[in-house]
Amino acid sequence: MIPITPIFVRSKEILKELSSLLDKERLAYGALDSDAIINLSEQKQTLLDEMNLLNEKRINILIKFDIVDRKQPTEEEFKSWLALQDSSMDEVRLLMQECETLLQSCKVKNNTNARVLNTLQKRNKHLFELLQGHSSKNKVYTARGSTRPISSKHTLGRA
């Protein structure tokens, strides 16, 4: 029997933790809590690093047991092989399915958080430009082709 069940069990645990962190991250964005956002980002990176190591370990096991191609292992090869196995691999099938569902949920949450972050960044940039007395209408091109605002003599900081 191939020892990949513990890898999927740990992957499922990591994905659950990641999902929880993504929920907390969205709340931190809403509260504008930069310390919490930084802390959550570090925790997410740690989980993603562990997930990458588990994936490498899983691929190495599949290569060792000659289930996937050594040079270009693919997920489809593994899924095809798994579909041909008897009921002794049902636990692995179930775990893999649960992991895929959790991964899809994490992707949706991550994309939502990215949109929230993008909106916050745009708002902060606009507020910063207002404080500096810049207007979105008063922009000039730089030598490199990008735009930059022209300073106004009447900034809020001088008022």
Measured CA to CA, the distance from residue 70 to residue 49 in angstroms comes to: 23
**Block residue for tokens 């500096």:** 132
> What are the start-end ranges of the H helices in the chain?
5-31, 34-64, 75-83, 90-132
Of all helices (H) and strands (E), which one includes residue 87?
A: none
Q: DSSP 3-state assignment of 148?
A: strand
The letter for the amino acid at 128 is F
**Residue 91, both tokens:** 């636990």
In the chain, the domains with their CATH numbers are 5-149 (1.20.58.300)
> pTM of the predicted model, to two decimals?
0.79
pLDDT tens series, the chain, 159 aa:
789 999 999 999 999 999 999 999 999 999 999 999 999 999 999 999 999 999 999 999 999 999 999 999 999 999 999 999 888 889 999 999 999 999 999 999 999 999 999 999 998 888 887 787 766 666 666 778 777 666 555 555 555
The letter for the amino acid at 152 is S
Q: DSSP 3-state assignment of 70?
A: coil
Nearest to 136 by CA among 159, 117, 152: 152
